């Protein structure tokens, strides 16, 4: 029986870790033996099987080869050392191993007759396969090669993955003594077919084969998701227990009156969304709902209906948007929807005059103003409401948790609705926003002219320019989106917005008004440029993706995206949503370089305008992780799992978490001790346990 080691053990206590490497481990966040045990590899290098030299180069990735040295060629050129070793493998086939660089350690080291293991990418030329060596080992002169599956750990320059692996291997049985309690209840581990915890640590750190390592990894991902889903379930439970929101009464004829004041009928999806939000708001539990709908799906109307319900119960509302321009557009759209009910909209911006601000503040503090629309300015101290009952937050991911909390703090416990125009497949959204209820508007209002979308090669840009010129002559406007701000950026092959604006201004559209917008401009200048575009004082707006979310310019009818092959489909769909905002026929032109082989993917956009379908395709094609740019999930603090890639594991964990919280909300049962310990270790979740 191993005595339970003291929790104060330090990383330096391990064999092979000294005063020099200890701090390097600490830099990677590994300060204790337990942390090292829990430090998992993110992939493996399979060194088990050498490829016969005759077959090298077929996989496209790194490959292994074993052979006997028959000749060594070495030279120095311009500070570089080039070492070429010719080998024959056991089947008698020839191959070459090549090192280029400052090879202090290999230069002069090889002799004829030595047996070597080499691993690297394969190049082929007329003389046969060449291994660009990333790793090699000198083998015993006789005997079989026996390689293993090498774990690759997150490493640093001074603490390479091989050193980490060596320390783990050397100390492994001791490390196992530091295993934490298992967060997965024993019955759950059994029903999911997981090996015992210690055995799983062995299988990830010292795997015999990739399948075993993958099964063990799943166990750790599941445990991580279980902790996350349990904390979401506890948060939800806590919220449900707070009966401190105002339960609003829904007048029976309210929907009819609301619709009666509109120039059109609500779509089925809008009616459903309003029903769900009103039902939430009629409970004394604070609403916490995410309203997700594609651009143009009519979320504004749904927001107006929520404001109307609050107002008919004598409560005020606040809508917060990430930029002034967006806030201003919301106010413009909401005012006519609310005016028939005698409800006024107050705006609060950083840039407005003191006089306008004071007038708005007065109306809010007396309760006369039914709705405040603004930016972060809504959060400042002088802003007081008489009876704030509803907070609407647009594009919630742009606000930090703290800012959201500050808005909510302006009322005791307001109902909260988050709005987003980023389509995320439902299953994903349910995981990413685990403690929000979800409403999806999956239907566009009828009678919209679909945006015509084309994918064209870069050599056809002159035609695109001609097309823009023709439409500008008709009084319309165009966006031209480029992926980089300026040429100093990492990737010189990307078109830069600054250079493109200059080129258009000077060479192509010298007679037109060309504007430039990108993220490094001061906020004031961005707002100013956008405002000029809205007013029609700019014909062609060259921009990076900063225009992505939410701005409506009905007169803008052309969206040109340069280097379209560099974007995800979902992001291109978002960009396309910037046009087609009015009655005019609109176009989206996706330009990709002549030598890029990307058009199959872009074709999806030319065929579909369904944001959810496109998001699904994007996920399927680009694989997980790539959506990160569009979603910015809370998954950044996940260590092992990837919510997108491991969505099925997450779903399983969520079901288990809800069952556990339902039956044992304090996690007091012995079989939940490990889960409880894991939650108690995190300050953010510890509080949930105490309050349960």
The distance of closest approach from Cβ of residue 287 to ligand ADP in the complex, given in angstroms and rounded to an integer, is: 19
**Residue 482 half-sphere exposure, CB side, CA atoms within 13 Å?**
28
Q: 10 Å Cβ neighbour count for 675? A: 28
The distance of closest approach from Cβ of residue 330 to ligand ADP in the complex, given in angstroms and rounded to an integer, is: 8
Compare residues 383 and 419 and give the one whose CB is closer to ligand ADP.
Answer: 419
The distance of closest approach from Cβ of residue 320 to ligand ADP in the complex, given in angstroms and rounded to an integer, is: 15
Compare residues 261 and 361 and give the one whose CB is closer to ligand ADP.
Answer: 261
Compare residues 192 and 272 and give the one whose CB is closer to ligand ADP.
Answer: 272
Which residue in the block uniquely carries the two structure tokens 């609403």? 287
Angle CA 6–11–12, to nearest 5: 105
Compare residues 229 and 295 and give the one whose CB is closer to ligand ADP.
Answer: 295
Q: 10 Å Cβ neighbour count for 82? A: 15
Please provide the distance, in angstroms rounded to a whole number, between the alpha carbons at the two ends of the chain: 36
Compare residues 79 and 260 and give the one whose CB is closer to ligand ADP.
Answer: 260
Q: Quick one: DSSP state of residue 508?
A: I
The values of phi and psi at residue 217, to 5°, are -60, -45
- The closest alpha carbon to 348, from 370, 318, 368, belongs to 318
The distance of closest approach from Cβ of residue 268 to ligand ADP in the complex, given in angstroms and rounded to an integer, is: 9
Which residue in the block uniquely carries the two structure tokens 């980490």? 164
- For residues 524 and 661, give the distance between their C-alpha atoms in angstroms, rounded to a whole number: 48
- The closest alpha carbon to 479, from 410, 546, 433, 393, belongs to 546
* 482 neighbors 497 (Cβ within 8 angstroms): yes
Q: Quick one: DSSP state of residue 399?
A: S
Compare residues 422 and 495 and give the one whose CB is closer to ligand ADP.
Answer: 422
Compare residues 122 and 392 and give the one whose CB is closer to ligand ADP.
Answer: 392
H/E/C letters for each residue in 130-153?
EEEEEEEEEECCCCCCCCCEEEEC
Compare residues 301 and 377 and give the one whose CB is closer to ligand ADP.
Answer: 301
Q: Quick one: DSSP state of residue 662?
A: H
Query: Residue 190: which residues within 8 A CB-CB, separation 6 or more?
Result: none
Compare residues 233 and 303 and give the one whose CB is closer to ligand ADP.
Answer: 303
Q: 10 Å Cβ neighbour count for 438? A: 16
Compare residues 265 and 384 and give the one whose CB is closer to ligand ADP.
Answer: 265
Binding site residues, ligand ADP, CB under 6 A = 264-267, 270, 293, 295-301, 333, 421, 445
DSSP string, 594-640: TT---HHHHHHHHH---HHHHHHHHHHHH-TTTTHHHH--GGGG-SS
Query: Residue 656: which residues within 8 A CB-CB, separation 6 or more?
Result: 188, 226, 229
- For residues 8 and 178, give the distance between their C-alpha atoms in angstroms, rounded to a whole number: 11
The distance of closest approach from Cβ of residue 577 to ligand ADP in the complex, given in angstroms and rounded to an integer, is: 7
The distance of closest approach from Cβ of residue 121 to ligand ADP in the complex, given in angstroms and rounded to an integer, is: 47
- For residues 568 and 637, give the distance between their C-alpha atoms in angstroms, rounded to a whole number: 23
Helix (H) / strand (E) element for 517: namely strand 514-517
Strands (E), 49-146: 62-77, 80-88, 94-101, 115-125, 128-139
Compare residues 247 and 262 and give the one whose CB is closer to ligand ADP.
Answer: 262
Q: How many helices, marked H, and strands, marked E, lie in the chain?
A: 24, 20
Compare residues 313 and 574 and give the one whose CB is closer to ligand ADP.
Answer: 574
Q: Per-residue b/e over 338-364, b at no fewer than 16 CB within 10 Å? A: beebebebbbbbeebeeeebeebbebb
Which residue in the block uniquely carries the two structure tokens 């288990």? 656
The distance of closest approach from Cβ of residue 549 to ligand ADP in the complex, given in angstroms and rounded to an integer, is: 10
The distance of closest approach from Cβ of residue 335 to ligand ADP in the complex, given in angstroms and rounded to an integer, is: 13
The distance of closest approach from Cβ of residue 555 to ligand ADP in the complex, given in angstroms and rounded to an integer, is: 13
The distance of closest approach from Cβ of residue 371 to ligand ADP in the complex, given in angstroms and rounded to an integer, is: 15
- For residues 392 and 27, give the distance between their C-alpha atoms in angstroms, rounded to a whole number: 41
- For residues 149 and 257, give the distance between their C-alpha atoms in angstroms, rounded to a whole number: 69
- For residues 534 and 187, give the distance between their C-alpha atoms in angstroms, rounded to a whole number: 61
- For residues 584 and 605, give the distance between their C-alpha atoms in angstroms, rounded to a whole number: 20
The distance of closest approach from Cβ of residue 270 to ligand ADP in the complex, given in angstroms and rounded to an integer, is: 6
The distance of closest approach from Cβ of residue 306 to ligand ADP in the complex, given in angstroms and rounded to an integer, is: 13
Compare residues 94 and 333 and give the one whose CB is closer to ligand ADP.
Answer: 333
Compare residues 333 and 532 and give the one whose CB is closer to ligand ADP.
Answer: 333
- For residues 38 and 451, give the distance between their C-alpha atoms in angstroms, rounded to a whole number: 51
Strand partners, 371: 317, 345
Compare residues 109 and 271 and give the one whose CB is closer to ligand ADP.
Answer: 271
The distance of closest approach from Cβ of residue 279 to ligand ADP in the complex, given in angstroms and rounded to an integer, is: 20
The distance of closest approach from Cβ of residue 266 to ligand ADP in the complex, given in angstroms and rounded to an integer, is: 5
The distance of closest approach from Cβ of residue 550 to ligand ADP in the complex, given in angstroms and rounded to an integer, is: 7
Compare residues 232 and 444 and give the one whose CB is closer to ligand ADP.
Answer: 444
The distance of closest approach from Cβ of residue 474 to ligand ADP in the complex, given in angstroms and rounded to an integer, is: 21
């Amino acid at each position: 029986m191993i005595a339970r080691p003291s929790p104060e053990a330090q990383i330096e206590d391990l064999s092979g870790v000294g005063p020099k490497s200890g701090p390097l481990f600490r830099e990677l966040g590994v300060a204790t033996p337990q942390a090292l045990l829990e430090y998992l590899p993110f992939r493996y290098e399979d060194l088990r099987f050498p490829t016969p030299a005759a077959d090298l180069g077929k996989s496209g990735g790194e490959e292994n080869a074993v052979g006997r040295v028959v000749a060594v060629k070495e030279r120095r050129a311009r500070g570089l050392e080039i070492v070429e070793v010719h080998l024959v493998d056991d089947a008698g086939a020839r191959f070459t191993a090549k090192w280029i660089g400052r090879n202090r350690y290999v230069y002069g080291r090889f002799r004829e007759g030595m047996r070597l293991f080499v691993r690297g990418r394969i190049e082929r030329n007329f003389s046969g396969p060449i291994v660009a060596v990333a790793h090699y080992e000198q083998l015993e002169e006789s005997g079989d090669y026996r390689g293993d599956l090498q774990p690759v750990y997150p490493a640093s320059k001074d603490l390479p993955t091989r050193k980490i692996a060596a320390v783990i291997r050397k100390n492994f049985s001791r490390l196992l003594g530091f295993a934490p309690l298992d967060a997965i209840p024993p019955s759950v581990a059994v029903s999911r077919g997981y090996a015992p915890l210690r055995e799983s640590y062995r299988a990830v750190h010292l795997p015999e084969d990739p399948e075993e390592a993958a099964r063990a990894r799943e166990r750790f991902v599941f445990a991580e998701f279980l902790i996350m889903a349990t904390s979401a379930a506890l948060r939800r439970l806590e919220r449900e227990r707070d009966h401190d929101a105002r339960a609003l009464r829904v007048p029976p004829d309210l929907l009819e009156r609301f619709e009666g004041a509109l120039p059109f009928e609500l779509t089925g999806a809008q009616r459903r969304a309003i029903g769900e939000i009103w039902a939430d708001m009629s409970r004394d539990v604070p609403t916490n709902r995410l309203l997700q709908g594609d651009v143009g799906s009519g979320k504004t109307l749904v927001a107006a209906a929520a404001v109307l319900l609050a107002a008919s119960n004598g409560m005020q509302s606040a809508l917060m948007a990430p930029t002034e321009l967006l806030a201003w557009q919301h106010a413009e759209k909401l005012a006519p929807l609310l005016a028939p009910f005698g409800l006024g909209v107050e705006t609060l911006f950083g840039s407005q005059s003191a006089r306008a601000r004071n007038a708005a503040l007065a109306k809010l503090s007396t309760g006369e103003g039914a709705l405040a629309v603004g930016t972060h300015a809504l959060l400042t101290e002088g802003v007081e409401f008489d009876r704030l009952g509803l907070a609407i937050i647009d594009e919630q991911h742009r606000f930090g948790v703290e800012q959201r909390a500050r808005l909510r703090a302006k009322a005791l416990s307001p109902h909260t609705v988050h709005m987003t125009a980023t389509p995320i497949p439902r299953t994903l959204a349910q995981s990413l926003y685990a403690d929000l209820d979800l409403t999806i508007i999956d239907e566009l209002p009828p009678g919209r002219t679909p945006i015509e979308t084309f994918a064209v090669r870069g050599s056809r840009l002159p035609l695109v320019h001609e097309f823009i010129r023709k439409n500008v002559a008709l009084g319309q406007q165009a966006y031209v989106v480029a992926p980089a701000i300026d040429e100093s950026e990492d990737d010189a092959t990307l078109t830069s917005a600054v250079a493109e604006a200059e080129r258009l201004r000077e060479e192509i559209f010298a007679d037109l008004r060309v504007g430039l917008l990108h993220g490094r401009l001061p906020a004031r200048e961005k707002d100013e440029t956008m405002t000029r575009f809205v007013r029609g004082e700019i014909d062609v707006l060259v921009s990076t993706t900063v225009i992505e979310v939410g701005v409506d310019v009905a007169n803008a009818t052309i969206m040109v995206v340069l280097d379209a092959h560099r974007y995800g489909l979902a992001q291109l769909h978002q960009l396309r949503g910037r046009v087609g905002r009015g009655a005019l026929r609109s176009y989206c032109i996706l330009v990709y370089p002549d030598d890029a082989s990307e058009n199959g993917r872009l074709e999806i956009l030319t065929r579909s305008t369904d944001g959810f379908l496109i998001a699904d395709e994007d996920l399927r094609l680009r694989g997980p992780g790539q959506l990160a740019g569009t979603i910015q999930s809370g998954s950044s603090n996940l260590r092992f799992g990837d919510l997108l890639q491991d969505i099925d594991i997450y779903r399983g964990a969520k079901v288990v978490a809800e069952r556990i919280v339902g039956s044992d909300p304090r996690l007091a049962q012995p079989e939940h001790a490990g889960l409880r310990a894991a939650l108690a270790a995190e300050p953010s979740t510890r509080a949930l346990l105490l309050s349960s």
